[in-house]
C-alpha cells in the first residue's frame, strides 16, 4: 500500500502534460467531458473573484455541462499556481436542481486513491477515482469541493460565464442550496471532468471569444457550447480552453500564460484529444494600445511575429499527431484599442490562415461574423455584437459554431 500511495503522489505531482491517464472503471479509456484552462490567482478586469484570498472552511459548488454521455465520471483538480500543497477535505458530484441545490438521489461522494481527502502538491494536479453516475450528452453536473483549512491563493479560471457558489462548513452531501449565500462568476481548482469510454476530443483554444465573454450567464451559449450541441449526436466531446485576454506571444499577470507556453497543458494533454481549433491573436494586436498593468508587457507585434507564434502551435500539435484547425480573427473595427495598423495585421494573419496551407483546415470566423455592407467593412454584424464591437453576442457565438465544418472534426483522417 505504501508503494501504491507513493506512486499516486508522484503522478499527482507530474505536470498535466506528462501524467498518464488511468483506465476507466469499465475497462475503457477516458474522454474529455468538460474542461477549463486555469490561471494564476489575480484580480482581473472581468469580474470580482475569490482567487487571491482563497478559501477557509468553505464549500465551493460549481455547475458544469458535459458534452458527451458516459456511465463513469472523474474530476480533475489543478493546483498549478499554488505555492503550497492544497488540502481538499471532501468532494462530491451530483445532478443539479435549481441554483446551488442538487437532486438528493444523485449525490455521489468522490474519493482520491480511495480516500475522501487528497493533498495536491504545489504546481500539481489530482484526478478522482471513477464514480458511477450515468449522464447524457449536454447534461449538467454539480461538483462540490470542501476545504476545511485555509487554501491560500487559489488556482482559478476567471471568465466562467456560470455561477459558482460558496458556503461555510462542509456542505459536500447537502442537497439544499440555502447554505450557499455567496456567488462568483469564476471557477476554482476544478480543471476537468472526464467521461468513461474512448472519444475523439475537440479542444477549442483561444482568448475571451473562445472563453465566451458576452454570452449569457448560466445558459451555455458560448461558441464551444453551440459546437458541442452540433456534435452531440456523434459522441464527439468539445472542451473549452479559452482564457479571456490571452495572447499568443506574451504572458500576463491577469490573462494567463501565453498560448505557446500553455498549449501543451491546456490543449494537447486533454484526454482523447484529436483536434484543436485555435483562435488567438486579437489581444496581441490590441494590447499595444493598452497601458494597464494587466496588458504588460505590451509590445507592438507584426503579422510575421504572430504567424510564427501560430506556427509554433501547429508544430506542437502535429508532433503529437493532433489535427489543428485555424480560426480566422473576427472583425473588431470600432472596438476600444482599435487601430489601422492593428487592422492591417489582422488582415495579414487571416490571409495566411486561409491560404498558407499550414493549418489542417480553416474555420472562417471572420467571414461568419463580419458585416457584409462594404460601408462597414471590418466591423461585426450588429446582430452578432455583444455591445463592445469586439465580443460576439449569443447569436454571434452560434454563427461561429455554424462556421465549423463538422466533417473535419469527425473524420479519422
Which of helix, strand or coil describes residue 284?
helix
Asked whether the predicted pLDDT for residue 23 surpasses 80, the reply is no
* Structure confidence at residue 68 (pLDDT): 96
Say which DSSP state 141 is in. Answer: E
Asked whether the predicted pLDDT for residue 372 surpasses 70, the reply is yes
- Other C-beta atoms closer than 10 Å to the C-beta of 40 total 20
Q: Model confidence over 64-120: pLDDT tens digits?
A: 999 999 999 999 999 999 999 999 999 999 999 999 999 999 999 999 999 999 999
Confidence of residue 413 (pLDDT cuts 50, 70, 90): low
Say which DSSP state 267 is in. Answer: I
Q: What percent of the chain has pLDDT over 70?
A: 93
Question: How far is CA 343 from each of CA 85, 199, 362, 385, rounded to the nearest angstrom?
Answer: 45, 39, 20, 18
Q: Model confidence over 224-260: pLDDT tens digits?
A: 999 999 999 999 999 999 999 999 999 999 999 999 9
270 CB contacts (<8 Å, ≥6 apart)? 32, 35, 192, 201, 203, 239, 241
pTM of the model: 0.93
Contact between residue 166 and residue 50 where contact means Cβ atoms under 8 Å apart = yes
DSSP 70-81: EEEEEEEEE-TT
Asked whether the predicted pLDDT for residue 411 surpasses 90, the reply is no
User: Between β-strands 125-127 and 70-78, what pairing exists: parallel, antiparallel or unpaired?
Assistant: antiparallel
Asked whether the predicted pLDDT for residue 24 surpasses 80, the reply is no
Q: Of 85, 10, 61, which Cα lies nearest the Cα of 178? A: 61
Asked whether the predicted pLDDT for residue 180 surpasses 80, the reply is yes
C-alpha–C-alpha distance, residues 53 and 79, integer Å: 15
For the record, the C-alpha cell of 278 comes out as 485555435
Asked whether the predicted pLDDT for residue 277 surpasses 50, the reply is yes
- CA 387 from chain centre, in angstroms, equals 23
Confidence of residue 14 (pLDDT cuts 50, 70, 90): very low
C-alpha–C-alpha distance, residues 176 and 4, integer Å: 37
Asked whether the predicted pLDDT for residue 199 surpasses 90, the reply is no
In sequence order, the β-bridge partners of residue 56 are 150
306 CB contacts (<8 Å, ≥6 apart)? 248, 249, 281, 284, 285, 345, 349
Tell me the average pLDDT across 393-412: 96
165 CB contacts (<8 Å, ≥6 apart)? 60, 61, 62, 99, 100, 177, 180, 182, 183
For the record, the C-alpha cell of 228 comes out as 458541442
Amino acid at each position: 500500500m505504501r508503494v501504491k500511495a507513493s506512486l499516486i503522489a508522484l503522478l499527482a505531482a507530474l505536470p498535466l502534460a506528462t501524467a498518464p491517464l488511468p483506465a476507466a472503471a469499465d475497462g475503457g479509456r477516458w474522454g474529455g467531458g468538460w474542461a477549463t484552462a486555469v490561471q494564476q490567482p489575480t484580480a482581473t478586469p472581468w469580474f470580482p473573484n475569490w482567487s487571491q484570498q482563497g478559501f477557509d472552511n468553505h464549500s465551493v459548488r460549481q455547475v458544469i455541462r458535459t458534452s458527451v454521455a458516459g456511465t463513469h465520471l472523474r474530476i480533475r483538480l489543478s493546483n498549478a499556481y499554488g505555492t503550497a500543497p492544497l488540502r481538499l477535505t471532501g468532494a462530491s458530484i451530483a445532478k443539479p436542481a435549481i441554483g446551488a441545490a442538487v437532486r438528493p438521489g444523485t449525490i455521489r461522494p468522490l474519493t482520491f486513491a480511495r480516500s475522501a481527502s487528497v493533498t495536491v502538491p504545489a504546481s500539481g494536479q489530482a484526478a478522482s477515482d471513477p464514480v458511477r453516475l450515468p449522464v447524457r450528452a449536454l447534461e449538467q453536473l454539480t461538483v462540490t469541493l470542501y476545504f476545511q483549512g485555509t487554501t491560500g491563493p487559489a488556482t482559478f479560471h476567471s471568465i466562467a460565464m456560470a455561477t459558482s457558489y460558496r458556503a461555510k462548513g462542509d456542505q459536500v452531501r447537502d442537497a439544499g442550496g440555502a447554505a450557499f449565500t455567496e456567488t462568483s462568476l469564476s471557477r476554482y481548482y476544478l480543471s476537468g471532468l472526464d467521461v468513461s469510454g474512448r472519444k475523439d476530443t475537440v479542444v477549442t483554444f483561444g482568448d475571451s471569444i473562445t472563453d465566451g465573454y458576452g454570452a449569457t450567464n448560466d445558459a451555455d451559449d458560448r461558441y464551444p457550447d453551440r459546437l458541442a450541441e452540433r456534435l452531440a449526436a456523434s459522441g464527439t466531446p468539445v472542451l473549452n480552453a479559452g482564457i479571456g485576454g490571452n495572447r499568443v506571444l506574451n504572458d500576463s499577470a491577469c490573462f494567463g500564460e501565453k498560448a505557446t507556453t500553455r498549449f501543451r497543458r491546456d490543449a494537447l494533454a486533454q484526454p482523447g484529444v484529436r483536434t484543436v481549433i485555435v483562435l488567438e491573436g486579437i489581444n496581441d494586436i490590441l494590447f499595444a494600445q493598452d497601458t494597464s498593468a494587466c496588458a504588460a508587457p505590451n509590445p507592438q507585434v507584426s503579422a510575421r511575429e504572430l504567424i510564427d507564434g501560430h506556427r509554433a502551435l501547429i508544430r506542437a500539435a502535429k508532433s503529437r499527431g493532433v489535427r489543428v484547425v485555424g480560426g480566422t480573427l473576427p472583425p473588431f473595427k470600432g472596438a476600444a484599442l482599435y487601430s489601422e495598423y492593428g487592422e492591417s495585421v489582422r488582415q495579414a494573419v487571416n490571409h495566411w490562415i486561409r491560404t498558407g496551407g499550414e493549418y489542417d483546415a480553416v474555420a472562417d470566423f471572420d467571414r461568419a461574423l463580419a458585416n457584409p455592407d462594404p460601408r462597414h467593412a471590418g466591423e461585426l454584424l450588429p446582430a452578432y455584437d455583444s455591445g463592445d464591437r469586439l465580443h460576439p453576442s449569443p447569436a454571434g457565438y452560434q454563427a461561429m459554431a455554424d462556421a465549423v465544418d463538422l466533417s473535419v472534426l469527425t473524420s479519422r483522417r
